[in-house]
Amino acid sequence: MRSWWVGSLAAAVMIAMLFFAGSMRVRAENDGVNNHNDQAAATAADVRIDNFSFAPQTLTVAAGTTITWTNRDDIPHSVVSTDGVFKSKVRDTDEKFSYTFAKAGVYPYYCSIHPKMTGKVVVQ
């Protein structure tokens, strides 16, 4: 009687493990689809502001791309075009600024609070 109970428990554990493995495989397949869609779109890009720097410092994108800067630093920063093309408000921690680059060109920018912080967007 006892060995029957242990055998049933072992079978139940095996079935649970099969379900778990199956759900993991489905999740991995979905991730692959999402990555593919991101690459096909290519109309959005991100710049991270952290530790007094823009990363990537130089970002090259196709015309029509919207770039979103996110301040991940614990102090305020801004994103200001050197040539007056765009200008964010002061961005506190986790605040964002987005700008859509319609025309090809080189767009240098800096942080108005810390002018030594510089970056560049290259639009092709």
Q: Which residues would be at the binding site for Cu ion (CB under 5 A)? A: 77, 111, 113-114, 117
Minimum CB separation of residue 45 from Cu ion in Å reads 20
Nearer to Cu ion, 98 or 112 (CB): 112
Nearer to Cu ion, 59 or 111 (CB): 111
The sign of the torsion formed by the CA atoms of 23, 28, 29, 30 equals positive
Minimum CB separation of residue 85 from Cu ion in Å reads 19
Yes or no: say if 118 and 110 are a contact pair by the CB < 8 Å rule.
yes
- Alpha-carbon distance of 39 to 20, in angstroms, equals 29
Minimum CB separation of residue 40 from Cu ion in Å reads 34
Nearer to Cu ion, 114 or 120 (CB): 114
- Alpha-carbon distance of 61 to 45, in angstroms, equals 8
